[in-house]
Homo-oligomer: A and B are copies of this chain.
């Protein structure tokens, strides 16, 4: 930007807030200690040393800027969001480096960034050989990142005036326009509470099912954050149908706007099912699942139950940008996996832990395209786009369009960049959209049964 961007930046406050986030990170790191104690291997000290370094740095940043002004503008917001991801991932990679389990810094940083952004792309080739406390921390990066998205969205993004959140606020009037804005902290706590409750429920359900406590809590973290890291080399394919269905249900819940969970907990089911984004979300899942399941029955002669389960699991996993794998979709007929590929461009709901472009944006863009056609024929008619029964202001549509364009532009440039390293067309496109949408598995050489270890 212009140089005026860097004028009068409240640097003290930025360092203070990032310092605070590092202290929180260090404390969460310490929750891995029970697994360090239970399964101590040769590198018992990796977690406590990393936590100590992280907390020490954080405390220094927090305490040395006690006198910083509390004024936070849009510019400070952008800088905090950008640099907090960077610093949290840097310190978060310490356990992998100090333990010597991922000695290469770039690999450790990639794995940690993939965790915090809930992408779930891994460079590990033998996950099950890793010490359990490190695997727990790996899943925890997902969980913090998933929660972080909501907390940041609710607590920081409204200050930045990001379109998606303004939308969220303008549309969810029951909880947002009159309640969310003035009591932002209360709302953040409420959403955080729902996140904890759903994670606990899923841990319990998986533990009652096929998993031990370690696998259960790790997969619960990964599912609720729509992350995708598993503690097993075969991902969810290592487990049976009951686990598949349990995780499908919670992936759907994790990809739903958390405000709707709040409504549901208060018995306001009418509000939940009147939400157009939620209806579109379910509709996409049902239609694509039916097409793929039919294709698997007809072309691959799979049993009907398995076809529906594989199709549903894959559709939900990719749409919510979780990236868990229950079957190798690249072994399906071309059109079926291309449908899966198309889902990578949609994403989860606004206000959920799901990534990607988000269903609400796609819905508004499609509604607006339809209105454009009508406007071309009736140039004098006033034809606003409606969402949940209300007119959407033109400048919000405009911001959503600009978002879509930048997304496609970055996708294109990333594809060319990856291909310049010598990778083929499908791998370049697959790695690009799978990373940009925080999905994890893509197509080509970064498909569902591959990993990102070979990428330099």
Contacts and interface: CB of A to CB of B under 8 A. Distances in A.
A405 B416 contact: no
Nearest to A444: B425
Taken together, the copies of this chain in the complex come to 2
A379 B163 CA distance: 13
A402 B404 CA distance: 11
B372 A399 contact: yes
A212 interface: no
Given A334-B422, A341-B425, A342-B412, 15 more contacts: A1-B373, A1-B377, A4-B378, A74-B376, A161-B376, A334-B419, A335-B416, A338-B415, A369-B402, A369-B406, A372-B402, A394-B398, A401-B401, A404-B405, A408-B408
A309 interface: no
A377 B78 contact: yes
Contacts of A426: 425-426
Interface of A: 1-2, 4-5, 74-75, 78, 160-162, 333-335, 338-339, 341-342, 345, 365-366, 368-369, 372-374, 376-379, 394, 398-399, 401-402, 404-406, 408-409, 412, 415-416, 419-420, 422-426, 428, 443
B425 A339 contact: no
A334 B405 contact: no
A416 B406 CA distance: 23
B401 A335 contact: no
Nearest to A403: B372
Contact of A338 (B377, B402, B404, B428): B428
A415 B339 CA distance: 10
A376 B416 contact: no
Contacts of A373: 1
5 contacts: A1-B374, A334-B423, A339-B416, A372-B399, A426-B426
Contact of A419 (B75, B335, B399): B335
8 pairs of A and B residues whose beta carbons are closest in the complex: A401-B401, A372-B402, A335-B419, A335-B420, A338-B419, A369-B406, A334-B419, A365-B405
Given A369-B402, A369-B405, A402-B368, A377 B335 contact: no
B422 A335 contact: yes
A378 B374 CA distance: 34
Given A338-B415, A377-B74, A405 B409 contact: no
A401 B405 contact: yes
A334 B415 CA distance: 11
B416 A443 contact: no
Contact of A425 (B369, B415, B423, B443): B443
B416 A379 contact: no
A408 to B, nearest CB: 7
Nearest to A345: B412
